[in-house]
Structure 1
Amino acid sequence: MSELWLFPTVLLCIYGFFSNFRPSEPFLTAFLMGPDKNLSETQVVNEIYPLWTYSYLVLLFPVFLATDYLRYKPLLILQAASLIVTYGMLVKAQGVLAMQVLEFFFGIASATDIAYYSYLYSVVEPAQYQKVTGFCRSATLLGSAMGSLLGQVLVSAAQVPTLYLCVITLVCACVAFLTPWFLPMPAKSLFFHQKDTGNQDRMSMEPTTGPQGEHLECKVPLNSEDAKDREKVSGLAVVLRTLWKDFVQSYSCRPLLAWSIWWALSTCGYFQVVNYVQALWEKILPSNEFQIYNGYVETISTLLGALAAFAVGFMKVSWEVWGELALCSFSVVIAVAVYLMDTISNIWVCYASYVIFRATYMLLITIATYQIATNLSMKRYALVFGVNTFIALLLQTVLTVIVVDTSGLGLDILQQFLIYASYFAVIAVIFLLAGLNKWRRKRSGSAPVVLTGETDSTGDGCPAAADDKQDIGPSLDRLVPC
């Protein structure tokens, strides 16, 4: 029984590798603006790319519910099918409208990505969560890095047309489509399908403990009443009521709220930069006039980002004390990197700044993910991360409508990146003020622990888990998806 995790984990690793193996990805903007599609910069940047943001936002919540109701596996199949449609259209379709439809299907693929890790946690024991998460995350990053590297080698060394890279990406999507059919169907899910699984469920309901020697400011437990409610879940109304109760209790925890705010704000900016950076590179160094190296840059930034994320597990930092100031400092680094990408018309400076930008973001998002996870029970894990992503997409949609879309300002790519640099600078100021305020409160004396009739409440307004009254033992840091 202890090795039952191996088969679905191997299949998910294969699926994650091939679904992210996309040699055409670093050259997408150049391909759309090249002779194959013959689209203008305004059409690509201001009319086509925004459709991904809009569709992702609209689909995220219904896909979240459908993922749980259908028990994950059908959504993995849907994701793979959406990728096939996306890259099939990229190879064959022409025109702005066709590319907008393509972006809609890619939005489906992005929204259903939540099924990937949710499935994993539904079929393996809690003791294996850290191990299988590391395996699957490594597979997806390796697929992305190897795909970018292969694309660049084929373009640079063999002068392979970008259209052929799109065909290779389509073939890999077809291979990925075959994999989830062989996955076992989970017997339960977080909300719609519940069954008594004894100690395993009780283990998954317990909050994870923090790093060795670090006292956590709050824990958000699942009390016995919540657990019983979930065992009786049978309809959508009850599920929505349960989600709302979990949402209110989770975000009443001040440390979790602070990390979640950074997550949402920064992920919004990260999506914007990553989505439109190829248009900036194309502006600085047109692919029809010069040799471009986008694939190498994507490969290096992905690997360095993965290395930075891996390094989080070895950091001995009291994030409760230094978290806000660290977020401020690294947000400044990100803001400066984006500013240099925009203002210095040198492709090598732009490439280097992008590598720094992605590596720094992946480092911080891994820290934020871990800090949020340490304050949550596993049952609330998907909810909080889903809400954070939804808020990020909502902010991104507002930013896209105002800055990018032709119905708004419709700014050119250089003006857009100046706004993105300013956006990250504002994030840095927000967390500088938060850090100074936290330091001031500690200097003036932290709010004492207030005892109520039922639960203990910390000065941050967080309900304390029963386990917090005992010594918190050491635990392993987890490398979780960003």
Structure 2
Amino acid sequence: MLFGANMSVLRPTLLLCVYGFFSNLRPSEPFLTAYLMGPDKNLTETQVVNEIYPIWTYSYLALLFPIFLATDYLCYKPVLVLQATGLVVTYVMLLKAQGMLAMQLLEFFFGLATASDVAYFSYIYSVVEPAHYQRVTGYCRSVTLFGSAAGSLIGQLLLSVAKVRLLHLVIITLTSAAVAFVAPWFLPMPKRSLFFHKSPGAAEERPRSSGAALTEKAEDVESKVPLNATDVSTISQSSEAESHNSGLVDVLRMLFDDFLQCYRCRPLLAWSVWWALATCGYFQVVNYAQALWENIRPSHEHEIYNGYVETLSTLLGALAALLVGYLPVSWTLWGELVLCVLSLLMAICVFVMDALGDIWLCYSSYVLFRATYMLLITVATYQIAASLSMQRYALVFGVNTFMALLLQSLLTVVVVDSVGLGLDIFTQFLIYGGYFAVISVVFLLAGLCKLASRRRSKQDVLANSPTETESDSPPSVMPEPADDG
């Protein structure tokens, strides 16, 4: 049992679960675009899509790395409080503020809260023993998904059955954020962190069994170096020799050295490239799907079912993530081709959402799109983190997310922002579908090159084996005539 051996784990885990649930319980979230364009805010589609929503992308990108360093330096808890504050400010402004500039500032605070997610998912590692990492992480991730699904479902039921106004959903969301705001204050303050405040012996190693299990499944040398090498499972030797309280320059140097070492590994690089490319496209589709639905089925003319769709897509995404461990796929051999096929499926889903103009097909394609992404991102997470230490786990995932946000910012500036092309929502989704088609082609070529390289290697081995046999045979055969003589 998780808490039987150490009851001190119970309190922070329960508080994190309470915080994760209520901070993600947002009944207004599936109807945000309809609310902003409705009588309560009276904003135009161009203002919402091309001038307000892009601010979240830019602020998330700008704040991600500073928040990442601040989270570790301040030992997590203060950043959790900052995130809770950012959510409360966001929904107070959503309830009370008026005008486009106020909504842009709101998006900044929401970007601050989103960037602070790193504190939520890393805090537990500072107060829990490594043996409990997997189970506690599962609890925290599951409760956030459940909170998100519950919020969407509650919002839809209140809208469809109780016929409440969208304004009332914002009030409920603000109340939930206020409840979540209380939880972080009662969390114990960690005495160690991954980089700035390392405790003695903090250079933990992943259990060799997990690395060995992955190695047994690997079918080429690339997968063994450096993903399963001992040097990737430990902190840099130079950082171990330093004092327990590292300075900023030391931390940055260590992160850069680890960055270079990790991304020399071709399998890790391949999964990271897909992570960054696909997450960029996923963010764009999810962020602007409501605007597309509003064009296909205007909320002021018809009843909308965005809450049901978000609930179903979240639950199916969680189910897809759970099923990853049971898929009989050799990811080392077929990973790139699977990424190609499923990225193509995601492209088709986006094209269907954009081209057919049927709200039910649009909803269905969106659900399939999100479930497919959740499945693949779970596989990518496992493939990258299977034998990385927590230090490099945080680094690689942070770099991948940063690259995704950088690409998303470029795409937003060119396609969405009124400073760039400022395209209409249907043209945007046509581009997003083409974007995923390009990802599919990239990994098709990568997969074919990998299979061709593997075949050449086997042919070389077969071609060289007779020569090796002839050269090896005299020492075992020649002594026999001498003995007979």
TM (norm. structure 1) is 0.90
Higher helix share: 2
In the alignment, the residues of structure 2 paired with residue 316 and residue 122 of structure 1 have an alpha-carbon distance, to the nearest angstrom, of: 35
Deviation at 1:205, TM superposition (A): 8.8
Q: Residue 80 of structure 1: which of 69, 76, 84 is its match?
A: 84
Instruction: Provide Cα deviations, 1:357-384, integer angstroms capped at 9, x if missing partner.
Output: 0000000000000000014222211110
Alignment pair present for 1:434 and 2:446: yes
In the alignment, the residues of structure 2 paired with residue 233 and residue 180 of structure 1 have an alpha-carbon distance, to the nearest angstrom, of: 25
In the alignment, the residues of structure 1 paired with residue 144 and residue 235 of structure 2 have an alpha-carbon distance, to the nearest angstrom, of: 35
Aligned to 2:346: 334
Aligned to 2:330: 318
Q: Residue 345 of structure 1: which of 357, 371, 374 is its match?
A: 357
Alignment pair present for 1:246 and 2:246: no
- Contact 2:19-2:183 within 8 A present in 1 as well: yes
Aligned to 1:462: none
Letter in 1 for 2:441: V
Letter in 2 for 1:259: W
Q: How many residues align?
A: 447
Aligned to 1:458: none
Aligned to 2:217: 214
In the alignment, the residues of structure 2 paired with residue 321 and residue 351 of structure 1 have an alpha-carbon distance, to the nearest angstrom, of: 34
RMSD of the TM alignment (CA)? 1.8
Q: Which runs of 5+ in 1 are unaligned?
A: 449-482
Distance 1:230 1:47, change over 3 A: farther
Alignment pair present for 1:278 and 2:290: yes
Alignment pair present for 1:385 and 2:387: no
In the alignment, the residues of structure 1 paired with residue 459 and residue 415 of structure 2 have an alpha-carbon distance, to the nearest angstrom, of: 42
- Secondary structure of 1:23's partner? coil
Deviation at 1:204, TM superposition (A): 5.1
Aligned to 1:100: 104
Identity of aligned residues (%): 65
Instruction: Provide Cα deviations, 1:302-337, integer angstroms capped at 9, x if missing partner.
Output: 000000001112223210001000000000100000
In the alignment, the residues of structure 1 paired with residue 233 and residue 260 of structure 2 have an alpha-carbon distance, to the nearest angstrom, of: 13
In the alignment, the residues of structure 2 paired with residue 112 and residue 360 of structure 1 have an alpha-carbon distance, to the nearest angstrom, of: 26
In the alignment, the residues of structure 1 paired with residue 455 and residue 123 of structure 2 have an alpha-carbon distance, to the nearest angstrom, of: 46
Instruction: Provide Cα deviations, 1:136-184, integer angstroms capped at 9, x if missing partner.
Output: 1110000000000000000000110000000000000010010011111
Alignment pair present for 1:141 and 2:153: no
Deviation at 1:10, TM superposition (A): 1.0
Aligned to 2:33: 29
In the alignment, the residues of structure 2 paired with residue 447 and residue 37 of structure 1 have an alpha-carbon distance, to the nearest angstrom, of: 67
Deviation at 1:208, TM superposition (A): 4.6
Alignment pair present for 1:394 and 2:406: yes
Alignment pair present for 1:202 and 2:204: yes
Letter in 2 for 1:214: K
Deviation at 1:231, TM superposition (A): 4.5
In the alignment, the residues of structure 2 paired with residue 227 and residue 183 of structure 1 have an alpha-carbon distance, to the nearest angstrom, of: 29
Distance 1:3 1:317, change over 3 A: farther
In the alignment, the residues of structure 2 paired with residue 436 and residue 302 of structure 1 have an alpha-carbon distance, to the nearest angstrom, of: 33
Alignment pair present for 1:182 and 2:186: yes
Deviation at 1:224, TM superposition (A): 6.3
- Contact 1:334-1:357 within 8 A present in 2 as well: yes
Greater alpha carbon shift after TM alignment, 45-54 vs 230-239: 230-239
- Secondary structure of 2:7's partner? coil
Letter in 1 for 2:217: E
Distance 1:446 1:144, change over 3 A: farther
Instruction: Provide Cα deviations, 1:384-403, integer angstroms capped at 9, x if missing partner.
Output: 00000000000000000000
In the alignment, the residues of structure 2 paired with residue 310 and residue 393 of structure 1 have an alpha-carbon distance, to the nearest angstrom, of: 26
Deviation at 1:228, TM superposition (A): 1.2
Alignment pair present for 1:413 and 2:417: no
In the alignment, the residues of structure 2 paired with residue 96 and residue 10 of structure 1 have an alpha-carbon distance, to the nearest angstrom, of: 39
Distance 1:223 1:391, change over 3 A: closer
In the alignment, the residues of structure 2 paired with residue 318 and residue 6 of structure 1 have an alpha-carbon distance, to the nearest angstrom, of: 37
- Contact 1:207-1:375 within 8 A present in 2 as well: no
- Contact 1:233-1:239 within 8 A present in 2 as well: no
In the alignment, the residues of structure 1 paired with residue 187 and residue 293 of structure 2 have an alpha-carbon distance, to the nearest angstrom, of: 41
- Contact 1:204-1:379 within 8 A present in 2 as well: no
In the alignment, the residues of structure 2 paired with residue 346 and residue 11 of structure 1 have an alpha-carbon distance, to the nearest angstrom, of: 43
Distance 1:446 1:163, change over 3 A: farther
- Contact 1:23-1:169 within 8 A present in 2 as well: yes
Letter in 1 for 2:188: P
Q: Residue 263 of structure 1: which of 253, 275, 282 is its match?
A: 275
In the alignment, the residues of structure 1 paired with residue 102 and residue 134 of structure 2 have an alpha-carbon distance, to the nearest angstrom, of: 41
Q: Which runs of 5+ in 2 are unaligned?
A: 461-485
Aligned to 1:11: 15
Q: Residue 172 of structure 2: which of 168, 171, 176 is its match?
A: 168
Letter in 1 for 2:24: N
- Contact 1:206-1:221 within 8 A present in 2 as well: no
